[in-house]
Structure 1
Amino acid sequence: MGNRCNAEKILIGIIIVMTIFLVVLLNIDTTGHKMKFYEDEITINGEVIKIDDIKSIKLLENVHIGNKINGTSTITYLRGIFEIDKNKKATVYVYNNKKPYIKIITKNELFIYNDKDSIDTVNDYNELINRYNIKENSKVNEDKFLVDSNDNLIVYIGIIPGALIFICLGIYSFKRKTPMFFWTGVDVSSEEISDIKAYNKANGIMWICYGLLFLLSPMLGEQLGSMALIIIMLFLVVALMLTYKFIYNKYKVK
Protein backbone atom coordinates (compact mmCIF):
# COMPACT_ATOMS: atom_id res chain seq x y z
CA MET A 1 0.00 0.00 0.00
CA GLY A 2 2.81 2.37 0.97
CA ASN A 3 4.71 1.69 -2.27
CA ARG A 4 1.60 2.38 -4.35
CA CYS A 5 0.92 5.64 -2.51
CA ASN A 6 4.49 6.73 -3.07
CA ALA A 7 4.25 5.80 -6.76
CA GLU A 8 0.99 7.74 -7.02
CA LYS A 9 2.55 10.84 -5.48
CA ILE A 10 5.57 10.57 -7.79
CA LEU A 11 3.38 10.14 -10.89
CA ILE A 12 1.08 13.04 -10.02
CA GLY A 13 4.12 15.19 -9.29
CA ILE A 14 5.69 14.30 -12.65
CA ILE A 15 2.46 15.10 -14.53
CA ILE A 16 2.08 18.46 -12.76
CA VAL A 17 5.71 19.38 -13.45
CA MET A 18 5.39 18.31 -17.11
CA THR A 19 2.19 20.32 -17.52
CA ILE A 20 3.77 23.45 -16.02
CA PHE A 21 6.86 22.90 -18.17
CA LEU A 22 4.75 22.62 -21.32
CA VAL A 23 2.79 25.77 -20.49
CA VAL A 24 6.01 27.71 -19.91
CA LEU A 25 7.70 26.24 -22.99
CA LEU A 26 4.76 27.04 -25.24
CA ASN A 27 4.84 30.66 -24.09
CA ILE A 28 8.55 31.21 -24.69
CA ASP A 29 9.43 33.07 -27.86
CA THR A 30 13.10 32.30 -28.43
CA THR A 31 13.58 33.32 -32.06
CA GLY A 32 10.94 35.79 -33.21
CA HIS A 33 10.20 36.53 -36.85
CA LYS A 34 10.57 39.78 -38.72
CA MET A 35 10.01 40.96 -42.27
CA LYS A 36 13.06 42.58 -43.86
CA PHE A 37 13.03 44.70 -47.01
CA TYR A 38 15.62 44.71 -49.81
CA GLU A 39 15.79 46.13 -53.32
CA ASP A 40 14.17 43.24 -55.17
CA GLU A 41 13.07 40.89 -52.39
CA ILE A 42 11.78 40.59 -48.85
CA THR A 43 12.75 37.97 -46.29
CA ILE A 44 10.98 36.44 -43.30
CA ASN A 45 13.21 34.35 -41.03
CA GLY A 46 15.54 33.74 -43.95
CA GLU A 47 12.76 32.75 -46.37
CA VAL A 48 13.12 34.82 -49.54
CA ILE A 49 10.14 36.24 -51.43
CA LYS A 50 11.02 37.85 -54.75
CA ILE A 51 9.15 41.09 -55.43
CA ASP A 52 8.56 40.10 -59.05
CA ASP A 53 6.77 36.95 -57.83
CA ILE A 54 4.25 38.82 -55.66
CA LYS A 55 0.80 39.02 -57.27
CA SER A 56 -1.29 40.54 -54.49
CA ILE A 57 -1.03 41.99 -50.97
CA LYS A 58 -3.91 42.55 -48.59
CA LEU A 59 -4.29 43.63 -44.96
CA LEU A 60 -6.74 41.37 -43.11
CA GLU A 61 -8.45 41.90 -39.77
CA ASN A 62 -9.05 38.18 -39.22
CA VAL A 63 -7.65 34.90 -40.54
CA HIS A 64 -8.88 31.45 -39.49
CA ILE A 65 -5.77 29.31 -39.02
CA GLY A 66 -6.56 25.62 -38.63
CA ASN A 67 -4.47 22.45 -38.49
CA LYS A 68 -0.72 22.42 -38.71
CA ILE A 69 0.54 20.50 -41.74
CA ASN A 70 4.22 21.08 -41.06
CA GLY A 71 5.90 23.52 -38.70
CA THR A 72 5.75 24.86 -35.15
CA SER A 73 2.57 25.53 -33.20
CA THR A 74 2.74 27.22 -29.78
CA ILE A 75 0.56 29.47 -27.65
CA THR A 76 2.78 32.41 -28.61
CA TYR A 77 3.21 31.91 -32.35
CA LEU A 78 2.52 29.71 -35.38
CA ARG A 79 5.17 29.12 -38.03
CA GLY A 80 5.13 26.71 -40.94
CA ILE A 81 2.52 25.29 -43.30
CA PHE A 82 -1.03 25.55 -41.91
CA GLU A 83 -4.58 25.22 -43.14
CA ILE A 84 -6.27 28.61 -43.41
CA ASP A 85 -9.90 29.53 -44.04
CA LYS A 86 -10.74 25.79 -43.76
CA ASN A 87 -9.81 24.87 -47.33
CA LYS A 88 -6.46 26.49 -48.20
CA LYS A 89 -2.88 26.09 -47.06
CA ALA A 90 -0.39 28.85 -46.46
CA THR A 91 3.08 29.51 -45.12
CA VAL A 92 2.32 31.18 -41.80
CA TYR A 93 4.43 33.51 -39.65
CA VAL A 94 1.93 34.66 -37.06
CA TYR A 95 1.94 35.84 -33.46
CA ASN A 96 -1.32 34.68 -31.89
CA ASN A 97 -3.97 37.28 -31.05
CA LYS A 98 -2.01 40.05 -32.75
CA LYS A 99 -4.26 41.56 -35.42
CA PRO A 100 -4.08 42.52 -38.26
CA TYR A 101 -2.48 40.11 -40.76
CA ILE A 102 -0.75 40.61 -44.09
CA LYS A 103 -1.77 38.21 -46.85
CA ILE A 104 0.85 37.87 -49.59
CA ILE A 105 0.08 35.87 -52.74
CA THR A 106 2.99 34.92 -54.99
CA LYS A 107 3.15 32.79 -58.13
CA ASN A 108 3.46 29.60 -56.12
CA GLU A 109 2.77 30.36 -52.46
CA LEU A 110 0.36 32.00 -50.07
CA PHE A 111 1.81 33.74 -46.99
CA ILE A 112 0.13 34.98 -43.82
CA TYR A 113 2.26 37.29 -41.68
CA ASN A 114 2.02 39.61 -38.71
CA ASP A 115 4.36 41.23 -36.22
CA LYS A 116 4.33 41.28 -32.42
CA ASP A 117 3.00 44.82 -32.48
CA SER A 118 -0.07 45.70 -34.55
CA ILE A 119 1.46 49.05 -35.49
CA ASP A 120 4.54 47.28 -36.88
CA THR A 121 2.31 45.02 -38.99
CA VAL A 122 0.53 48.03 -40.49
CA ASN A 123 3.90 49.72 -41.10
CA ASP A 124 5.16 46.60 -42.88
CA TYR A 125 2.06 46.57 -45.06
CA ASN A 126 2.48 50.25 -45.95
CA GLU A 127 6.14 49.66 -46.74
CA LEU A 128 5.19 46.86 -49.14
CA ILE A 129 2.60 48.82 -51.08
CA ASN A 130 4.54 52.11 -51.14
CA ARG A 131 8.07 50.87 -51.71
CA TYR A 132 7.25 48.20 -54.28
CA ASN A 133 3.95 49.59 -55.59
CA ILE A 134 2.11 46.30 -54.93
CA LYS A 135 -1.61 46.28 -54.16
CA GLU A 136 -4.45 43.85 -53.75
CA ASN A 137 -5.46 42.01 -56.90
CA SER A 138 -8.87 40.39 -56.48
CA LYS A 139 -8.49 38.56 -59.80
CA VAL A 140 -5.69 36.31 -58.53
CA ASN A 141 -6.81 32.68 -58.59
CA GLU A 142 -6.24 31.03 -55.21
CA ASP A 143 -7.38 27.54 -56.22
CA LYS A 144 -3.78 26.34 -56.43
CA PHE A 145 -3.53 26.81 -52.66
CA LEU A 146 -6.40 24.47 -51.78
CA VAL A 147 -5.68 21.75 -49.23
CA ASP A 148 -5.46 18.33 -50.90
CA SER A 149 -5.78 14.76 -49.64
CA ASN A 150 -2.03 14.43 -49.08
CA ASP A 151 -2.08 17.42 -46.72
CA ASN A 152 -4.93 15.88 -44.72
CA LEU A 153 -3.04 12.58 -44.61
CA ILE A 154 0.02 14.32 -43.14
CA VAL A 155 -2.14 15.86 -40.40
CA TYR A 156 -3.62 12.47 -39.44
CA ILE A 157 -0.30 10.61 -39.59
CA GLY A 158 1.02 13.04 -36.99
CA ILE A 159 -1.66 12.16 -34.43
CA ILE A 160 -2.24 8.44 -35.15
CA PRO A 161 0.68 7.14 -32.97
CA GLY A 162 -0.65 8.94 -29.89
CA ALA A 163 -4.19 7.73 -30.56
CA LEU A 164 -3.02 4.13 -30.98
CA ILE A 165 -1.08 4.24 -27.71
CA PHE A 166 -4.20 5.34 -25.83
CA ILE A 167 -6.42 2.76 -27.53
CA CYS A 168 -3.92 -0.07 -26.91
CA LEU A 169 -3.71 0.91 -23.23
CA GLY A 170 -7.49 0.69 -23.09
CA ILE A 171 -7.55 -2.79 -24.63
CA TYR A 172 -4.74 -3.89 -22.31
CA SER A 173 -6.72 -2.65 -19.31
CA PHE A 174 -9.74 -4.73 -20.40
CA LYS A 175 -7.61 -7.89 -20.53
CA ARG A 176 -5.79 -7.49 -17.20
CA LYS A 177 -6.79 -9.76 -14.35
CA THR A 178 -5.27 -7.47 -11.74
CA PRO A 179 -5.78 -3.71 -11.40
CA MET A 180 -3.18 -1.41 -12.95
CA PHE A 181 -2.18 2.00 -11.63
CA PHE A 182 -2.47 4.58 -14.39
CA TRP A 183 0.03 4.13 -17.27
CA THR A 184 3.21 3.40 -15.31
CA GLY A 185 2.56 -0.32 -14.94
CA VAL A 186 2.66 -0.05 -11.12
CA ASP A 187 0.14 -2.50 -9.71
CA VAL A 188 -2.66 -1.48 -7.40
CA SER A 189 -3.14 -4.38 -5.00
CA SER A 190 -6.27 -6.43 -5.57
CA GLU A 191 -7.26 -5.88 -1.95
CA GLU A 192 -7.59 -2.14 -2.61
CA ILE A 193 -10.23 -2.48 -5.34
CA SER A 194 -13.78 -3.61 -4.63
CA ASP A 195 -14.56 -4.68 -8.23
CA ILE A 196 -11.42 -5.31 -10.30
CA LYS A 197 -13.28 -6.09 -13.53
CA ALA A 198 -15.36 -2.90 -13.36
CA TYR A 199 -12.28 -0.88 -12.36
CA ASN A 200 -10.25 -2.13 -15.33
CA LYS A 201 -13.23 -1.65 -17.64
CA ALA A 202 -13.63 1.98 -16.52
CA ASN A 203 -9.92 2.62 -17.09
CA GLY A 204 -10.08 0.92 -20.48
CA ILE A 205 -13.01 3.08 -21.56
CA MET A 206 -11.15 6.17 -20.37
CA TRP A 207 -8.06 5.38 -22.45
CA ILE A 208 -10.03 4.46 -25.57
CA CYS A 209 -12.10 7.65 -25.31
CA TYR A 210 -8.93 9.71 -25.15
CA GLY A 211 -7.54 7.81 -28.14
CA LEU A 212 -10.66 8.56 -30.17
CA LEU A 213 -10.47 12.18 -29.03
CA PHE A 214 -6.97 12.36 -30.51
CA LEU A 215 -8.36 11.12 -33.82
CA LEU A 216 -10.91 13.94 -33.70
CA SER A 217 -8.27 16.60 -33.01
CA PRO A 218 -7.77 17.52 -36.72
CA MET A 219 -11.47 18.32 -36.99
CA LEU A 220 -11.30 20.37 -33.79
CA GLY A 221 -8.26 22.19 -35.15
CA GLU A 222 -10.07 22.96 -38.38
CA GLN A 223 -13.13 24.35 -36.60
CA LEU A 224 -11.58 26.06 -33.56
CA GLY A 225 -8.14 26.96 -34.85
CA SER A 226 -4.64 25.75 -34.02
CA MET A 227 -4.15 27.86 -30.89
CA ALA A 228 -7.45 26.75 -29.33
CA LEU A 229 -6.48 23.12 -29.96
CA ILE A 230 -3.18 23.58 -28.06
CA ILE A 231 -5.01 24.94 -25.04
CA ILE A 232 -7.58 22.13 -25.17
CA MET A 233 -4.83 19.49 -25.24
CA LEU A 234 -3.18 21.00 -22.15
CA PHE A 235 -6.48 20.88 -20.28
CA LEU A 236 -6.98 17.27 -21.39
CA VAL A 237 -3.73 16.25 -19.70
CA VAL A 238 -5.07 17.53 -16.38
CA ALA A 239 -8.53 16.08 -17.07
CA LEU A 240 -6.99 12.66 -17.76
CA MET A 241 -5.26 12.68 -14.38
CA LEU A 242 -8.43 13.74 -12.57
CA THR A 243 -10.53 11.13 -14.40
CA TYR A 244 -8.23 8.35 -13.26
CA LYS A 245 -8.34 9.67 -9.69
CA PHE A 246 -12.14 9.62 -9.83
CA ILE A 247 -12.16 6.01 -11.09
CA TYR A 248 -9.74 4.88 -8.38
CA ASN A 249 -11.73 6.56 -5.60
CA LYS A 250 -14.96 5.06 -6.92
CA TYR A 251 -13.72 1.46 -6.84
CA LYS A 252 -11.31 1.44 -3.92
CA VAL A 253 -12.33 -0.47 -0.83
CA LYS A 254 -13.91 1.91 1.66
Structure 2
Amino acid sequence: MNKAEKIIVGIIIVMTVFLVVFLNIDTTGHKMKFKEDKITINGESIKIEDIESVKLLEDVHIGNKINGTNTFTYTRAICQVDTDKKASVYVYNKSKPYIKIISKGKMVIYNDKESSETVKTYNDLINKYNIKENSKVNEEKFLYEPKDKLIVYTSIMPATFIFICLGIYSLKRKTPMHFWAGSTVSSEEISDVKAYNKANGIMWICYGLSFLLIPILEEHFGSLTLAILVPFMIVALILNYKIIYNKYKVK
Protein backbone atom coordinates (compact mmCIF):
# COMPACT_ATOMS: atom_id res chain seq x y z
CA MET A 1 0.00 0.00 0.00
CA ASN A 2 1.19 3.52 -0.77
CA LYS A 3 0.98 6.38 1.71
CA ALA A 4 -2.44 7.58 0.51
CA GLU A 5 -3.92 4.08 0.81
CA LYS A 6 -2.56 3.74 4.33
CA ILE A 7 -4.12 7.05 5.34
CA ILE A 8 -7.49 5.94 3.95
CA VAL A 9 -7.29 2.58 5.77
CA GLY A 10 -6.32 4.37 8.98
CA ILE A 11 -9.26 6.77 8.69
CA ILE A 12 -11.67 3.88 8.07
CA ILE A 13 -10.40 2.00 11.14
CA VAL A 14 -10.63 5.09 13.37
CA MET A 15 -14.14 5.93 12.12
CA THR A 16 -15.29 2.34 12.64
CA VAL A 17 -14.03 2.30 16.23
CA PHE A 18 -15.58 5.73 16.88
CA LEU A 19 -18.98 4.65 15.51
CA VAL A 20 -18.99 1.43 17.53
CA VAL A 21 -18.24 3.37 20.72
CA PHE A 22 -20.63 6.24 19.92
CA LEU A 23 -23.57 4.00 19.02
CA ASN A 24 -23.17 2.06 22.27
CA ILE A 25 -23.22 5.11 24.54
CA ASP A 26 -26.51 6.13 26.10
CA THR A 27 -26.24 9.76 27.21
CA THR A 28 -29.54 9.79 29.13
CA GLY A 29 -29.79 8.86 32.79
CA HIS A 30 -31.64 5.82 34.09
CA LYS A 31 -34.46 6.07 36.61
CA MET A 32 -36.90 3.59 38.10
CA LYS A 33 -40.52 4.59 37.49
CA PHE A 34 -43.51 3.24 39.39
CA LYS A 35 -46.64 2.30 37.44
CA GLU A 36 -49.90 0.84 38.71
CA ASP A 37 -48.94 -2.80 38.15
CA LYS A 38 -45.28 -2.65 37.16
CA ILE A 39 -41.99 -0.80 37.46
CA THR A 40 -39.94 0.37 34.48
CA ILE A 41 -36.27 1.21 34.03
CA ASN A 42 -35.26 2.71 30.69
CA GLY A 43 -37.93 0.77 28.83
CA GLU A 44 -37.43 -2.53 30.68
CA SER A 45 -40.47 -3.45 32.75
CA ILE A 46 -41.12 -5.83 35.64
CA LYS A 47 -44.64 -6.77 36.68
CA ILE A 48 -45.25 -6.35 40.40
CA GLU A 49 -46.98 -9.72 40.61
CA ASP A 50 -43.80 -11.37 39.26
CA ILE A 51 -41.44 -9.87 41.85
CA GLU A 52 -40.15 -12.52 44.24
CA SER A 53 -37.62 -10.51 46.24
CA VAL A 54 -36.20 -7.01 46.69
CA LYS A 55 -32.96 -6.43 48.61
CA LEU A 56 -30.82 -3.40 49.42
CA LEU A 57 -27.17 -4.46 49.21
CA GLU A 58 -24.03 -2.55 50.10
CA ASP A 59 -21.93 -4.32 47.48
CA VAL A 60 -22.49 -6.33 44.29
CA HIS A 61 -19.67 -7.70 42.15
CA ILE A 62 -20.35 -6.79 38.52
CA GLY A 63 -18.14 -8.75 36.12
CA ASN A 64 -18.16 -9.27 32.35
CA LYS A 65 -20.53 -7.26 30.19
CA ILE A 66 -22.49 -9.67 27.98
CA ASN A 67 -24.45 -7.06 26.08
CA GLY A 68 -25.06 -3.33 26.52
CA THR A 69 -23.14 -0.19 27.51
CA ASN A 70 -20.32 0.20 30.01
CA THR A 71 -18.57 3.54 30.63
CA PHE A 72 -16.56 5.13 33.44
CA THR A 73 -19.77 6.69 34.76
CA TYR A 74 -22.39 3.97 34.45
CA THR A 75 -23.18 0.42 33.39
CA ARG A 76 -26.43 -0.36 31.57
CA ALA A 77 -26.08 -3.88 30.31
CA ILE A 78 -26.66 -7.56 30.85
CA CYS A 79 -23.69 -8.52 33.01
CA GLN A 80 -22.15 -11.31 34.98
CA VAL A 81 -22.83 -10.63 38.67
CA ASP A 82 -21.58 -12.32 41.84
CA THR A 83 -19.33 -14.62 39.76
CA ASP A 84 -21.92 -17.18 38.66
CA LYS A 85 -25.13 -15.20 37.91
CA LYS A 86 -26.25 -12.77 35.23
CA ALA A 87 -28.56 -9.79 35.52
CA SER A 88 -29.82 -6.63 33.87
CA VAL A 89 -27.63 -3.94 35.39
CA TYR A 90 -28.50 -0.24 35.68
CA VAL A 91 -25.90 1.29 37.98
CA TYR A 92 -23.77 4.37 38.45
CA ASN A 93 -20.33 2.87 38.97
CA LYS A 94 -19.20 5.18 41.79
CA SER A 95 -22.44 4.94 43.75
CA LYS A 96 -23.61 2.54 46.46
CA PRO A 97 -25.77 0.79 47.67
CA TYR A 98 -27.58 -1.40 45.13
CA ILE A 99 -31.16 -2.59 44.79
CA LYS A 100 -31.40 -6.23 43.77
CA ILE A 101 -34.75 -7.23 42.29
CA ILE A 102 -35.56 -10.85 41.52
CA SER A 103 -38.67 -11.66 39.52
CA LYS A 104 -39.90 -14.81 37.82
CA GLY A 105 -38.09 -13.97 34.60
CA LYS A 106 -35.14 -11.75 35.45
CA MET A 107 -32.70 -10.38 37.98
CA VAL A 108 -32.08 -6.62 38.03
CA ILE A 109 -29.32 -4.68 39.79
CA TYR A 110 -30.08 -0.97 40.13
CA ASN A 111 -28.95 2.19 41.83
CA ASP A 112 -29.34 5.94 41.49
CA LYS A 113 -26.61 8.54 41.06
CA GLU A 114 -26.73 9.47 44.76
CA SER A 115 -26.80 6.98 47.64
CA SER A 116 -29.69 8.77 49.32
CA GLU A 117 -31.72 8.53 46.12
CA THR A 118 -31.12 4.78 45.95
CA VAL A 119 -32.31 4.29 49.54
CA LYS A 120 -35.39 6.40 48.82
CA THR A 121 -36.15 4.39 45.66
CA TYR A 122 -35.84 1.16 47.65
CA ASN A 123 -38.19 2.38 50.39
CA ASP A 124 -40.70 3.72 47.86
CA LEU A 125 -40.64 0.40 46.02
CA ILE A 126 -41.26 -1.89 48.98
CA ASN A 127 -43.79 0.44 50.63
CA LYS A 128 -45.83 1.26 47.54
CA TYR A 129 -46.30 -2.38 46.57
CA ASN A 130 -45.92 -3.93 50.04
CA ILE A 131 -43.02 -6.15 48.91
CA LYS A 132 -41.27 -8.31 51.50
CA GLU A 133 -37.65 -9.45 51.33
CA ASN A 134 -37.46 -13.16 50.54
CA SER A 135 -34.14 -14.79 51.42
CA LYS A 136 -35.26 -18.19 50.13
CA VAL A 137 -35.79 -17.15 46.52
CA ASN A 138 -34.13 -19.43 43.95
CA GLU A 139 -31.42 -17.64 41.94
CA GLU A 140 -30.20 -20.72 40.05
CA LYS A 141 -32.32 -19.79 37.01
CA PHE A 142 -30.08 -16.77 36.46
CA LEU A 143 -26.79 -18.66 36.10
CA TYR A 144 -23.94 -17.22 34.02
CA GLU A 145 -23.64 -19.94 31.37
CA PRO A 146 -20.87 -20.99 28.92
CA LYS A 147 -22.83 -19.44 26.03
CA ASP A 148 -22.71 -16.08 27.85
CA LYS A 149 -18.93 -16.35 28.16
CA LEU A 150 -18.77 -17.19 24.44
CA ILE A 151 -20.66 -13.96 23.65
CA VAL A 152 -18.17 -11.98 25.75
CA TYR A 153 -15.18 -13.45 23.89
CA THR A 154 -16.89 -13.04 20.51
CA SER A 155 -17.33 -9.31 21.17
CA ILE A 156 -13.56 -8.77 21.52
CA MET A 157 -12.50 -11.00 18.61
CA PRO A 158 -12.61 -8.21 15.96
CA ALA A 159 -9.96 -6.20 17.85
CA THR A 160 -7.89 -9.34 18.41
CA PHE A 161 -8.14 -10.27 14.73
CA ILE A 162 -7.15 -6.78 13.51
CA PHE A 163 -3.98 -6.63 15.61
CA ILE A 164 -2.94 -10.20 14.78
CA CYS A 165 -3.37 -9.41 11.07
CA LEU A 166 -1.21 -6.29 11.53
CA GLY A 167 1.42 -8.47 13.16
CA ILE A 168 1.40 -11.01 10.33
CA TYR A 169 1.53 -8.18 7.79
CA SER A 170 4.57 -6.75 9.57
CA LEU A 171 6.34 -10.13 9.57
CA LYS A 172 5.90 -10.43 5.79
CA ARG A 173 6.93 -6.87 4.84
CA LYS A 174 10.16 -6.22 2.99
CA THR A 175 10.27 -2.56 3.96
CA PRO A 176 10.01 -1.13 7.50
CA MET A 177 6.60 -1.47 9.14
CA HIS A 178 5.03 1.89 10.01
CA PHE A 179 3.46 2.36 13.42
CA TRP A 180 0.30 3.99 12.08
CA ALA A 181 -1.16 5.01 8.74
CA GLY A 182 0.68 7.90 7.13
CA SER A 183 3.86 7.63 9.21
CA THR A 184 7.10 7.13 7.32
CA VAL A 185 10.07 4.95 8.26
CA SER A 186 12.55 4.49 5.42
CA SER A 187 14.82 1.50 4.94
CA GLU A 188 17.81 3.81 5.36
CA GLU A 189 16.71 4.58 8.93
CA ILE A 190 16.73 0.92 10.05
CA SER A 191 19.87 -1.15 10.49
CA ASP A 192 18.11 -4.54 10.17
CA VAL A 193 14.71 -4.28 8.46
CA LYS A 194 13.86 -7.97 8.87
CA ALA A 195 14.55 -7.97 12.62
CA TYR A 196 12.74 -4.63 13.00
CA ASN A 197 9.62 -5.92 11.26
CA LYS A 198 9.77 -9.17 13.22
CA ALA A 199 9.89 -7.28 16.52
CA ASN A 200 6.96 -5.09 15.43
CA GLY A 201 5.01 -8.13 14.23
CA ILE A 202 5.46 -9.92 17.55
CA MET A 203 4.42 -6.74 19.38
CA TRP A 204 1.18 -6.41 17.36
CA ILE A 205 0.33 -10.11 17.75
CA CYS A 206 0.94 -10.03 21.51
CA TYR A 207 -1.16 -6.88 21.74
CA GLY A 208 -4.02 -8.62 19.93
CA LEU A 209 -3.78 -11.72 22.09
CA SER A 210 -3.78 -9.56 25.24
CA PHE A 211 -7.42 -8.65 24.52
CA LEU A 212 -8.30 -12.27 25.30
CA LEU A 213 -7.26 -11.65 28.91
CA ILE A 214 -9.83 -8.87 29.37
CA PRO A 215 -12.84 -11.16 30.11
CA ILE A 216 -10.77 -13.03 32.70
CA LEU A 217 -9.73 -9.77 34.37
CA GLU A 218 -13.29 -8.38 34.27
CA GLU A 219 -14.57 -11.55 35.88
CA HIS A 220 -12.31 -11.01 38.87
CA PHE A 221 -11.88 -7.23 39.05
CA GLY A 222 -15.16 -5.87 37.72
CA SER A 223 -16.76 -4.36 34.65
CA LEU A 224 -14.60 -1.21 34.66
CA THR A 225 -11.47 -3.22 33.86
CA LEU A 226 -11.64 -2.52 30.12
CA ALA A 227 -12.23 1.21 30.49
CA ILE A 228 -9.28 1.49 32.90
CA LEU A 229 -6.97 -0.90 31.04
CA VAL A 230 -7.27 0.45 27.48
CA PRO A 231 -5.42 3.77 28.09
CA PHE A 232 -2.54 1.87 29.70
CA MET A 233 -2.48 -0.60 26.79
CA ILE A 234 -2.25 2.28 24.30
CA VAL A 235 0.62 3.90 26.23
CA ALA A 236 2.40 0.53 26.49
CA LEU A 237 2.02 -0.01 22.74
CA ILE A 238 3.55 3.38 21.93
CA LEU A 239 6.43 2.87 24.36
CA ASN A 240 7.16 -0.60 22.99
CA TYR A 241 7.25 0.75 19.45
CA LYS A 242 9.64 3.52 20.51
CA ILE A 243 11.91 0.94 22.15
CA ILE A 244 11.91 -1.20 18.99
CA TYR A 245 12.55 1.80 16.74
CA ASN A 246 15.42 3.08 18.89
CA LYS A 247 16.97 -0.39 19.00
CA TYR A 248 17.07 -0.85 15.22
CA LYS A 249 17.51 2.69 13.91
CA VAL A 250 20.82 3.51 12.29
CA LYS A 251 23.11 5.08 14.85
TM-score by length of 2: 0.88
Deviations 1:199-241 (A, max 9, x none): 1111111111111111111111111111122110122122212
Structure 2 residues without counterparts, runs of 5 or longer: none
Pairwise CA RMSD of aligned residues? Answer: 2.8
> Is contact 1:55–1:106 with CA below 8 Å preserved after alignment?
yes
Matched, 1:179 2:194: no
Specify which of 106, 111, 136 is matched with residue 109 of structure 1: 106
Matched, 1:70 2:37: no
Matched, 1:189 2:186: yes
Match of 1:18 in 2: none
Specify which of 193, 199, 205 is matched with residue 202 of structure 1: 199
Structure 1 residues without counterparts, runs of 5 or longer: 16-20
The equivalences for 1:79-98 within 5 A come to 79-98=76-95
Distance, in Å, in 2 between the alignment partners of 1:237 and 1:29 is 25
Match of 1:143 in 2: 140
> Is contact 1:180–1:186 with CA below 8 Å preserved after alignment?
no
Distance, in Å, in 2 between the alignment partners of 1:51 and 1:213 is 44
Specify which of 204, 212, 230 is matched with residue 233 of structure 1: 230
The equivalences for 1:44-59 within 5 A come to 44-59=41-56
TM-score by length of 1: 0.87
Distance, in Å, in 2 between the alignment partners of 1:60 and 1:131 is 20
> Is contact 2:76–2:91 with CA below 8 Å preserved after alignment?
yes
Specify which of 158, 163, 167 is matched with residue 160 of structure 2: 163
The equivalences for 1:1-20 within 5 A come to none
Superposed displacement of residue 152, structure 1: 1.1
Alignment size in residue pairs:
241
Matched, 1:31 2:28: yes
